[in-house]
Chains A and B, each alone.
Chain A
Amino acid sequence: NAGVTQTPKFQVLKTGQSMTLQCAQDMNHEYMSWYRQDPGMGLRLIHYSVGAGITDQGEVPNGYNVSRSTTEDFPLRLLSAAPSQTSVYFCASRGREIGEQYFGPGTRLTVT
């Protein structure tokens, strides 16, 4: 049981490049979400999904796309990277317990 896994751990992009951050969970959780963590800002919700085929926007969705074709996977796509997207990105999943989320180890992204 690996929990929530994220790849890559570190990534450097140039402005305008695109990439996909991978997230997978093996706990059969319906709910998955993506957050970004910036100094002094806490965690801000980017997108979330309540099940395969269902996604919705969070607090800061601009510049990011998501899809959920399977229960296990929830990739986050940066369409055209900008320096403002330099951040640490966390994927999380939740089972039936209210609010109890399981977080991945994070991806540290730098956009130059």
Chain B
Amino acid sequence: GNSVTQMEGPVTLSEEAFLTINCTYTATGYPSLFWYVQYPGEGLQLLLKATKADDKGSNKGFEATYRKETTSFHLEKGSVQVSDSAVYFCALSDENEGYQKVTFGTGTKLQVIP
């Protein structure tokens, strides 16, 4: 079956530091990949996505590149802000399941301190 593995948190960074959150996946088909963000007390929101190999998704200064050879989709941001403090979820959706289901990782909590 499909699975998503992300680095354990929490991750604590100072403002303006560089962020990397690792994500690797296994999939039976050719997946689309996503990063979702959950701010405290809220539901998840789509942050960015990539639907084919070597695609780069980007939004709000965050980037992730779909690496088929390493089955990875690491999230990066060059300079984090306090407002980026949230839980980040890597996820995939697979053509073999008709893209009907989304498989989520366990989430990585990011705390940015001033």
Contact = CB atoms under 8 A, between A and B. Distances in A.
Contacts of B100: 31, 48, 50
Interface string B29-68: 0001010000001111110010100000000000000000
B69 to A, nearest CB: 22
- The bracket for how many chain B residues form the interface is 20 to 34
Given A45-B101, A50-B100, A105 B42 contact: yes
B102 A99 contact: yes
A104 B104 contact: no
Contacts of A104: 43
Contacts of A4: 43
A103 B43 CA distance: 5
A42 B107 contact: yes
B34 A99 contact: yes
A99 B49 contact: yes
A43 B38 CA distance: 12
Contact of B93 (A35, A42, A50, A99): A99
Q: Which of the four size classes fits the interface of chain A?
A: 20 to 34
Given A90-B44, A105-B42, A43 B51 contact: no
Given A31-B100, A48-B100, A100 B46 contact: yes
Interface string A82-105: 000000001010000011110111
B89 interface: yes
B99 interface: yes
Contacts of A53: none
A48 B101 contact: yes
Contacts of B46: 100-101
Given A98-B32, A99-B92, A100-B46, 13 more contacts: A31-B100, A33-B101, A41-B106, A42-B105, A42-B106, A43-B89, A43-B104, A58-B101, A99-B32, A99-B91, A101-B46, A103-B43, A106-B42
Interface of B: 32, 34, 41-46, 49, 51, 89, 91-93, 99-102, 104-107
